[in-house]
Amino acid sequence: MKKVIIVGGGFAGLNLAKKISKSDKFQITLVDKNNYHFFPPLLYQVGTAFIEPSNISYPFRKLFQGRNIRYYMGSLVEVVAEQKTIITDNGTLEYDYLVLAMGTETNFFGNEQIAKNAFPMKTLDEALSMRNHILMQLEKATRTTDLKEKSQLANIVIAGGGPTGVELAGMIAEMSRNLLHKDYPGANLNHGKIYLIDGLNSLLAPMSAKSQEEAKNVLQMLDVSSGVINAGGDLLTWGLQPDNEPWTVAAADPEQENHPYAHVNISNMAMASAVNINAGTPANHTSFPGAINPKHGFKVSAIQSVSIIGPSAEFADAMATPLINMGINAGIYLINQLNQVACVVTDDNNRVYTSKHIAVSQQPVLV
């Protein structure tokens, strides 16, 4: 039998071990520093004391009963490829085939302050450390009589605006409103704030406009008073920025993105944009769908980009692309018939056109 060593008992390592264990050609050993498999997507619920670690973990030895899989506790120290062995902190193992599936490390994206002060959330131990810290801060907030200190102890900063960060913010907000004020009545949690930060100044970037709207509604129901969500370039905002200034977005030529020609106030609004891939295409270039090579006649001016601003992200997203096909005059005429909807259009000569609901200058605003 060939010896197969799999280092790492996450989803990849565990599923591979279970799949090849059906063959009698392999003797399988799974190496992991923990003697249990756990479900990472729910770590944030362990970190907020909503569920216990046992709810998302299960021992490897129980999982492997009746299977051709042996569990070995240890951390990988070195791979000696020429000798087909691995060295762990608990001994040396020989292999015929080696699979490395150790997962990933927390990426702080070069932010030394976050790396130094934040609680990572990749393992059960890290989630429990975060849970213990939150509960101890609440205990301190209960004991102190200084209102400023109470607020500081109840403040929570979450670094990372992806699904886990948003879910964690929502979970903490819901617990503060429904549970923690009962367990810690003296902590005065109404003065505490939850800050959700991201290096891109946006949340949930991969999500669709519809999901964006739903995420905003859920966060608002949980008393998250302000935010900005970026769903693949489409923006949805509510409330004000932390400095009490309105949310704004800069409009610029893609080739001169550091030199915006306008700043648009989009507080409590949504904005969706679309770009015409055919705009500016050379006359002899016919590789784009719909591009033609006119030998006679006048060149037709085209829309290069359009941005729709309105109360609904889903509606703004649905309007952006059709407006490009309608043309400048017809598109702006349509937008002018709609309440609380505005648009900014750029043609292939970088000229800017707007609907009647928006005034473009150095600092344009919705009117």
Q: Is the pTM for the entire model greater than 0.75?
A: no
Domains, the chain, ranges and CATH?
Answer: 2-100 (3.50.50.60), 112-238 (3.50.50), 248-284+300-366 (no CATH)
Give residue-wise pLDDT tens across range 149-197.
Answer: 888 888 888 888 788 888 888 888 888 877 787 888 887 777 677 877 7
What is the 3 state secondary structure string of the chain? CEEEEEECCCHHHHHHHHHHCCCCCEEEEEEECCCEEECHHHHHHHHCCCCCHHHHEEEHHHHCCCCCEEEEECCEEEEEHHHCEEEECCEEEECCEEEECCCCCCCCCCCHHHHHHCCCCCCHHHHHHHHHHHHHHHHHHHHCCCHHHHHHHHCEEEECCCHHHHHHHHHHHHHHHHHHHHHCHHHCHHHCCEEEECCCCCCCCCCCHHHHHHHHHHHHHCCCCCEEEEECCEEEEECCCCCCCCCEEEECCHHHCCCCCEEEECCCCEEEEEECCCCCCCCCCCCCCCCCCCCCCCCCCCEEEEEEEECCHHHHHHHHHHHHHHCHHHHHHHHHCCCCCEEEEEECCCCEEECCCEECCCCCEEC
Q: What is the mean pLDDT of residues 234-259?
A: 71
Q: What is the mean pLDDT of residues 134-149?
A: 90
Q: CA 241 to CA 235: how far, in whole Å?
A: 14
pLDDT-based confidence at residue 301 (cuts at 50, 70, 90):
low
- pLDDT for 285 beyond 70: no
Give residue-wise pLDDT tens across range 224-236.
Answer: 667 776 655 667 7
Q: What pLDDT is stored for residue 281 in this prediction?
A: 46
Give residue-wise pLDDT tens across range 187-216.
Answer: 777 767 787 777 654 566 666 666 766 777
pLDDT-based confidence at residue 307 (cuts at 50, 70, 90):
confident
The top-scoring range by mean pLDDT among 20-24, 209-213, 305-309, 348-352 is 20-24
Residue 351: burial class (beta carbons within 10 Å; 0-12, 13-18, 19+): exposed
Angle at which helix 313-326 crosses helix 328-336, to 10 degrees, equals 150
More confident residue, 40 or 311: 40
More confident residue, 259 or 88: 88
- pLDDT for 39 beyond 80: yes
pLDDT-based confidence at residue 323 (cuts at 50, 70, 90):
confident
Q: What is the mean pLDDT of residues 248-270?
A: 70
